[in-house]
Chains A and B, each alone.
Chain A
Amino acid sequence: MKTNHTYSFIVLTAILLFCFVLNISLGSVGIPFSEVFDSLFGTVQNNTSQIIITKVRLPKAITAIIVGSGLGISGLLMQTLFRNPLAGPFVLGISSGASLGVALVILGSGLFGGLFATALITKWSIVIASSLGSFIVLLAVLAVSNKVRDTMAILIIGLMFGSITAAVVSVLSYFSSAEQLQQYIFWGFGSLSNLSWSDLLIFFSIYAVGLLLSIASIKGLNGLLLGDNYAKSLGLNLKQSRLIIILATSLIAGTITAFAGPIAFIGLAIPHLTRQIFKTTNHKILLPAVFLFGAIVMLICDTIAQVPYSDYMLPINAITALVGAPVVIWLLVRQRKMMF
């Protein structure tokens, strides 16, 4: 049984490497494979292909890996924590919270007007607003989930947060300029590009902290599979484990939403797809598997979104929804019950 998993991990890693190279090789400009490798390993310097690869495609591919794996992992943590197969950063309103933060910064800045407005909309203010938004919503959801035992209620509350965001956004858009509105809408489409290496370093650092926290909660997550009372009877410090899981999720989901926009369905669909293949709920196996799977799917979605050899660039959110939503429906229909 153990060797079976090792085998799957080797295959997944190989697929990930393949998708990574594929993602870098394909783009609006055709670059032959040999040149891609030369640029990657630095044997060619300062020609056009090398600049495209290292300045544009490589950061984008790395972003895709971080976004895909991060959303998958935060979805996995949420599903176990809330004991609900439908939980995910998007469903629980965490992405909505982040969007609200961003909307307040981009659209709300119009209310101040003048010079102050332009000073307010920097990449940093968006990142901070988005992370804060997701953290606050997650805290609210957790506070409610401590009071309301019913997990269905938690999901509905998540949906309500989504509605509140939509309402606030439409009110704000009434008062903001077309330009600001456009900026917000483009952010809302989600995008993996536009990240420089220095952005990426910060992005990766925060993500890495979240990832380490998730790895630290593997044992706690496995205990939670039995339910709260059993977990407690196993000597698990429930409050502490919950806090670490929440912190990990809001760090990961918050920064991802800030840097790449609200990306739908990956967080929900990836853990389910992974469970289908690995047939286990043991987080020691699931966590790395979700990491690999999320990264692979995101790389593929991004490869499709950039429409190879053309000047078009589709919004990544549309692609993830087109891939993710049918997967969820298929799982529901085929399995009748989404088990986890």
Chain B
Amino acid sequence: MKNETSHIILKAEQLSIGYKTKKIETVIASNINFELQKGQLIGLVGANGIGKSTLLRTLIKVQPELSGAISLNNKDLKSTSTLELAKQLSIVLTEPLTSKNLSVFELVALGRHPYTNWIGNLTENDTTTINNALSLVNISELKDKKCYELSDGQLQKVMIARALAQDTAIIVLDEPTSHLDMYHKAYILKLLQKLTKETGKTILFSSHEIDLAIQLCDTMIVMTKGQVVCDKPCHLISKGVFNSLFPKDLIVFDDKTGSFRVTK
């Protein structure tokens, strides 16, 4: 209903993803279509090995798409330069940091890279943005700590602050809740929801926390064998999409509670 006025930030058309070597083309998922609106929290869910990471890696231009088109802010992703992309899209990955000897402030400051001069000097404006990012994620007091002193949950918040400091319209997170306990899983996802509301950024994350995602996301992309569906969580439930997510021998989706139950 509101779709006419809202702004589409990321769009995939007839997208096919996978890996290509010289001879063989391994298609992991195909016929992917979705439109992501500005200022929304979008969860990407699916079973292990279904291609969530591949999809995210394709969307952030780490690996090329096999066919189809991705457009970011109405511009084809292929024709977006690395530096332009850096000002539009920031990422939080699962891969461990190469150096944990950085202080939190230094790490978050690296987010300002696309905007700083040749040697990376921070202007006053940069410092303000960094401090804002730190306070948005509630980690201002960790500023001078070293990254190796942090817990997994704190480190994840720092990485989110770094992405915020990059000042992009969209943030993509690959499994931001892995390695975290139940409380921190909810905390991080709730934080992401808060950030979309407060900053108007679009946040796309992949996760295995389907029940939490259903409760918090504006839109969800569900990857199942054979199809990729993108819709509001309530519509997805009524369509019964979640039931086709996993083999039915162990767990089934309960429409009323919006969570999975072990079959008796």
Contacts and interface: CB of A to CB of B under 8 A. Distances in A.
B91 A226 contact: no
Nearest to B96: A227
A308 B90 CA distance: 59
A145 interface: no
A340 interface: yes
Contacts of B84: 235
B82 A281 contact: no
B83 interface: yes
Interface residues of A, number: 29
A332 B35 CA distance: 52
A1 interface: yes
Given A280-B103, A339-B148, A225 B110 contact: yes
Interface in B99-142: 99-103, 106-107, 110-111, 113-114, 116, 118-120
Interface string B75-99: 0000000111111011101011111
Given A219-B113, A282-B106, A230 B91 contact: yes
B117 to A, nearest CB: 8
Contacts of B181: none
Contact of A235 (B62, B93, B98, B114): B114
Interface residues of B, number: 35
A226 B111 CA distance: 10
A80 B101 CA distance: 12
A232 B85 CA distance: 10
B82 A236 contact: yes
B119 A233 contact: no
Contacts of B60: 233
A229 B113 contact: no
B54 interface: no
Interface string A235-276: 111000000000000000000000000000000000000010
A57 interface: no
Contacts of A280: 101-103, 106
A281 B102 contact: yes
Given A226-B97, A226-B110, A233-B86, A219 B102 contact: no
A327 B176 CA distance: 39
Interface string A205-218: 00000000001101
A216 B83 CA distance: 18
Nearest to B84: A235
A275 to B, nearest CB: 7
A271 B87 CA distance: 33
8 contacts: A226-B97, A226-B99, A227-B96, A229-B95, A235-B85, A237-B82, A282-B106, A284-B119
Given A218-B119, A339-B99, 17 more contacts: A83-B98, A218-B120, A219-B116, A222-B110, A222-B120, A223-B113, A224-B98, A226-B97, A229-B95, A230-B91, A235-B86, A275-B101, A279-B101, A280-B106, A281-B99, A284-B119, A340-B101
